[in-house]
Amino acid sequence: MTAVTAAQAGLLACHACGLVHRAGHAAHDLDCARCGASLHFRKPDSIARSWALLVAAYVLIIPANLLPVMETGSLFGSEVDTIMSGVIFLWTSGSWPLAVIVFIASIAVPFSKLGALTYLLVSVQRRSTWAPKERTRLYRVLERVGRWSMIDIYVAAILTALVQFGGLMSIKAGPGAIAFGTVVVLTMFAAESFDPRLIWDTTEGKNGR
Amino acid sequence: MADRHAPELPDLPEAVSAPKPRWAPQLIWIIPIVAVLAGAWLAAKAILERGPTITISFQTGDGLEAGKTRIKYRDVEIGLVKEIALAPDRKRVVATAELAKDAADSLVEDTRFWAVRPRITASGVSGLGTLLSGPYIAIDPGRKKEARRDFVALDVPPVVTHEDPGRGFVLRADTLGSHDVGVPVYFRRLAVGEVVSRELDRDGQGVSIKIFVRAPYDQYVTANTRFWNASGIDVTLGADGLQVQTESLVSILIGGIAFQALPDAGASPAADANHVFNLFQTREAAMKRPDLAIEHFVLIFKQSVRGLSVGAPVEFRGVNIGEVVRIGAEFDPKSFNFVQPVEVHLYPDRLRARSATGGAALPAPTTPEARLKRAQLFVDKGFRGQLRTGNLLTGQSYIGVDFFPDAPKAKLDPSRLPLEVPTVPSQFEELEASVASIVKKLDKVQYEQIGADVRKVLATLDQTLRSTDVLVKRLDAETTPELNRALDEARKALKTADGALAAESPLQTDLRDALREITRAAASIRVLADYLDRQPQSLLFGKPAEEPK
C-alpha cells in the first residue's frame, strides 16, 4: 500500500485536544482553532534542540566522570570516589555482579545513549535512508532506558541521607553527582526533543520540517 | 469519521496562523553554552588550583597508600600521595604527591618531610591517631629560598621544626653518654630544649651533640654557661661519701643535659647560635672554677696507697685544693725498697681566692726560683702530705696536706721535677703504732706472778669464809634454844596480863563495885552539904526532930 503521512496530506492534529486541522498556506506558526495550542507537523526545531541538549550533555559528562560523586568521611580519614573508582573498588573487592551493574548503569548506558543519539541526529541530518525501522527501535530503547541510568545518583542520595553519624562517618554527594545527574536529565530531554518521524520523512523523500 | 482518508474530510478546520518570534527556538542553545561555561570553569579551576607535584623518598613504604596517604601541615591537609613506587635502585620507596597550590612556597631546599606513625619512646607516645587512619606525611617548611621538588624523608620525626623559636648549640664530649635524639635539656630543672642530633667527629676523637634550646630560655645560654651530663642517676661514691644527682624522673629514664651559668661569673651576652661548648660529665666538674694556675708536686709514700685513686682530692684542712693525677710504684735500688710516688696537681688559686676575701693574699710566684723558694718555705714550716682515710666504710683515701711543725726537717731537691713534698705517716699508721706499743706493754705484764697472788688471796678468803661458817653454826646450836625459852616466858607473862584485863575478870568486877560505892558516898555527901547549906545551925544544934506536917 502506498503510505501517506499526515504531513503529506497537509493535515496536522492538535497535541492538546486532538482536533485535526488542514494546514492551509502557512506551514509554520499555527495554532489550534479549538483550544489555541500551537500546532506543528513535526516537533519544532527538533534537531537543533536535540543537538543543543546533547552538546551540553557531552560537556558535562567529562566532570561527571572525573569529579567525585561521593565523599565518605569516617574516623579513618576521608575518601572520595568517582564513578569509575567505585566500579573498580567493587570489582577488586569481589562484588563483580554489582560492579557490572554499576558499570552498565552509570558508564555504559550514558555513553551509549549519547552515541546513539548522536548517530540518530547525524543520520537524520544526512537524510540517511538506511534501516529506518532499526533506528526507530533504537530510539524507543533509548527513551525507555534513559531513566535507569540514575542508579548512581539514587545510591549517593540515599547514602547521603542515611549515613550521617557526625564524626564517626558521613557521606556527602560530590560535585560529580550533580554533573552526572544533569547529564542523565539532559540526555532524556534530548531524546524527547528528537522526533522519530524525521527518520521516516527521509524515506519519503520529503522534508517534514 | 470511519474513513480516515484526508480527501474525504473536506470540512476540516484550518489552523490559525499565529506568528511567533523567530529567536525563540535559538534559546535552547543557552543550555549547551551554560554547560560549556560550567565545564570550562571547572576545568580552569582544576588547572589553576593544581599544586606542585613532588617526590619524597622514604626508607620504607609502611602504611603509605597511593591516593590515600595525605600530606599534612599542622594537621591540615595540604596534599595527597598519588603514586608510590620503588626507586630504580630498589633501596627506597618514592612517593609522588600532589600538593595544594599555596603550599608551593614551602617547597624549598631545607624543607623536611617525614611519615607520622605511632611512636612510643621513653619521652612519650605520639601519632596515636594514625593507628586507625594509617600514617600521614608531615612537612616542616624550610626557610631557604631555592625551590626544590624532590625530597628525602626523615626516618624519624624531627625534634625541632623550623618554626620553633630558639637557638641551637653544639656540645662537645668525649663520649655520647645516654644522649639520644630527643633527650631533654634542663635549665634549673626546667625542660627547655632537646638533643637534636649527635654525631661522631670525623677523626673519631669525640662526639658532637647538637641541642636546641627554645626561646625564651636560649637567652640564658651565655659564654659562661656550662653544660653537664644529667643522665639518669649520677651516683658518685668518693671520699666525700655517696652522692646522688639527678635532674628529673624523665632524665633518670632517658638521660638529659643540664646547663647553668657559672655562679660568680657575672653577666655576659647570650651565646651565638651554634656556639660550641664542652659537655662536662658531672655538674660538679662543670661548676668547678677554672683552675688557671696548676702546681705539680709528687708525694712519695712508703706505705700502701690502697684506696687512693686518680682524681681523689687533695685537701688542706678540709678545703679541696687539688687532685691526684697519677699513682705509681717505684723501685729504689739503693734501699732495695718500693715506694709509691703520687703525683698531685695543686691549685693555689683556690687558696688565694679564699684568702682574698679577708686575709692578705699570697703573692703568686712567677719564676721557678721563686716557686722553689716558696715551696721550701712551706716545707720548712712543716708542710707535709699525708695519706688519709676519707671513708671508713669504702676505704676511699685522699691526700691531706697540713703543717706539721714537729715533722723532721726536709730539703727540697730542685733538680727533680716535679718537686717532692715530704710526707708524714698517716693517722691510721700512727694509730697502728700506738696500738702496737700498747700491745708491747701488755706483753711485759707478769701474768704468772699476778696469777699466783690472786691464788693466794683466794686461799685466804677461803679460810675466812670457813671460820665464819663455824661461828654461824655455833650460834645456831647454843644461843637459839635460850632465846626460844625466853620467848616462851614472855608469852606466858603476857597471857596473864591479858587475863587480868579481860571484861569478866574478878578484878574488873571488884573495881566496878568499888566505884559504885564511891558514887553513892559522894551522893550522900552532896545531900549533907545541901542540908548544911540550908540549916547551918544544925551543925551546932543537931538535926531538929522531924516536924509533923
| pLDDT tens, position by position, B322-348 | 888 888 888 878 878 888 888 888 887
A32–B68 C-beta distance less than 8 A:
no
* CA–CA distance, B264 with B288 (Å, rounded to integer): 11
Task: Considering only residues B160 and B315, tell me which one the structure prediction assigns the higher pLDDT.
Answer: B315
Report, as an integer, the average pLDDT of A116-144.
Answer: 88
Q: Is the model's pLDDT at B291 over the cut of 70?
A: no
Most confident of A181-190, B216-225, B271-280, B391-400: A181-190
Answer whether B269's CB lies under 8 Å from B223's CB. Answer: yes
B13–A11 C-beta distance less than 8 A:
no
Mutant choice from A59, A65, A88, A92 vs B, greatest count of B C-beta within 10 A:
A59
A76 touches chain B (CB under 8 A): yes
Ordered by start, the domain boundaries in chain B are: 49-152, 166-287, 295-355+367-439, 452-477
Cell numbers placing B1? 469519521
Burial class (CB in 10 A: 0-12, 13-18, 19+), B43: middle
A178 touches chain B (CB under 8 A): no
Burial class (CB in 10 A: 0-12, 13-18, 19+), B322: buried
The pLDDT value given to residue B457: 93
Q: Which of A90-99, B155-164, B240-249 has the lowest mean pLDDT?
A: B240-249
Q: pLDDT of A63-82, one tens digit each?
A: 888 888 888 877 666 677 88
A59–B29 C-beta distance less than 8 A:
no
- From the list B15, B31, B70, the residue facing A53 with the nearest CB is B31
* CA–CA distance, B359 with B349 (Å, rounded to integer): 14
The pLDDT value given to residue A207: 44
Answer whether B366's CB lies under 8 Å from B342's CB. Answer: no
Task: Considering only residues B355 and B41, tell me which one the structure prediction assigns the higher pLDDT.
Answer: B41
Q: pLDDT of A134-150, one tens digit each?
A: 889 999 888 888 777 77
Residues contacting B390, CB < 8 A, separation 6+: B238, B239, B240, B307, B312, B396, B397, B398
Task: Considering only residues B312 and B547, tell me which one the structure prediction assigns the higher pLDDT.
Answer: B312
Residues contacting B113, CB < 8 A, separation 6+: B56, B71, B137, B138, B139, B140, B151, B153, B154
The pLDDT value given to residue B466: 92
The pLDDT value given to residue B522: 93
- Distance (Å) from the alpha carbon of A38 to chain B's nearest alpha carbon: 8
> Mean pLDDT score of chain B, rounded to an integer?
81
The pLDDT value given to residue B3: 43
Report, as an integer, the average pLDDT of B200-225.
Answer: 85
Most confident of A31-40, B297-306, B514-523: B514-523
Ordered by start, the domain boundaries in chain A are: 1-41, 45-204
pLDDT tier for residue B265 given thresholds of 50, 70 and 90: low
- From the list B18, B25, B132, the residue facing A30 with the nearest CB is B18
The ipTM of this complex is 0.77
A31–B17 C-beta distance less than 8 A:
yes
* CA–CA distance, B403 with A164 (Å, rounded to integer): 92
Residues contacting B87, CB < 8 A, separation 6+: B57, B93, B94
Q: Is the model's pLDDT at A1 over the cut of 50?
A: no
The pLDDT value given to residue B2: 43
Report, as an integer, the average pLDDT of B17-29.
Answer: 73
- From the list A9, A29, A49, the residue facing B19 with the nearest CB is A29
B461 touches chain A (CB under 8 A): no
Q: Which CATH class is domain A45-204?
A: mainly alpha
